[in-house]
Amino acid sequence: MDITNQIITRSAPAKLNLYLHIVGQRADGYHLLDSLFAFTQNGDEITVRGAPELSLEVTGPFAGSLAAVGGLNADNLVMKAALLLRSHAGIKNGAAISLSKNLPIASGIGGGSADAAATLLALNDLWQLDLSLETLSALALRLGADVPACLHDRPLHVSGIGEQIKASSLPKDYGILLVNSGEALSTPAVFQAFHADGYKPSVRLPCRQPKESADFIKWLLEKTSNDLQAPAVSLCPAIAPVMRDLSAINGAMMVRMSGSGATCFALFQTVSEAKQAQIRIEADHPKWWVMADQLVP
């Protein structure tokens, strides 16, 4: 089939760590995780179309941030994903790839990982490779620990270094408000600070959680945490006022930092409540990045 006129679009939603426990470390330095991933409805977007060569165009509000760190070349995860997939398949196909970069970079919400996963899925369709999700997951792990999970776009219990994935679910489609003060955080630096604080492995939780919403939120608050939150705050004090302002919003059931930061989030019963909270935060802090959305249940 001629793919010259084919256009395929894939969403690359934000990934949230509803909790993140560091339960060990391998001899090669990789940390072992225990985490519940959840995904928003919206985020970045990948569009691919048939073309003689591979190319990447980046648009959107954070395109400039990506360019500023040298991300518009083969070091970009999107291009790495495309080159890796093409090499694995043994083909010479090209593609014009467009990335709408709507999520902040280096912000703990898996933007780059989601972009890479969406690229693998879109090009698998465009190039008619018919590769299984298992094969794509193996390739995704070579791109980063979070990339395999981002192939799914649904709640997941994640362990190992990110490669051990089990389907999970949320009690409902919670509203969520994501807020970032605009300061990027280096994941390696956060882990270094984590170890400097006196590393103690967390306890791995059972791969299940309460099914009723009230019990689920209580469980998150009482039994879980983000082990990287304190070291991240030590490196980026701007996280603290974000957390404080989110916690002060009426209806915010839980406030936490995601991943290695610096994005924080608040969970609400409905997306309408999250959107009302967005209006308040934007009025008080016009320079902060704010996104109200809904979690995939």
Residues 6 or more apart whose Cβ sits within 8 Å of residue 5: 49, 50
Burial (CB count <10 Å: 0-12, 13-18, 19+), residue 284: exposed
User: Count of residues for the chain?
Assistant: 297
Amino acid present at 10: R
Q: What is the CA radius of gyration of the chain?
A: 19
Per the annotation, the verdict on 146 as an active-site residue is yes
Residue 292 identity: A
- The residue type of 253 is M
Which one of 34, 146, 153, 245 is the catalytic residue?
A: 146
Pairing of strands 54-59, 94-100: parallel
CA–CA separation, 119 and 9 (whole Å): 9
**How far apart (Å, rounded) are the C-alpha atoms in residues 83 and 92?**
10
The residues carrying an active-site annotation are 15, 146
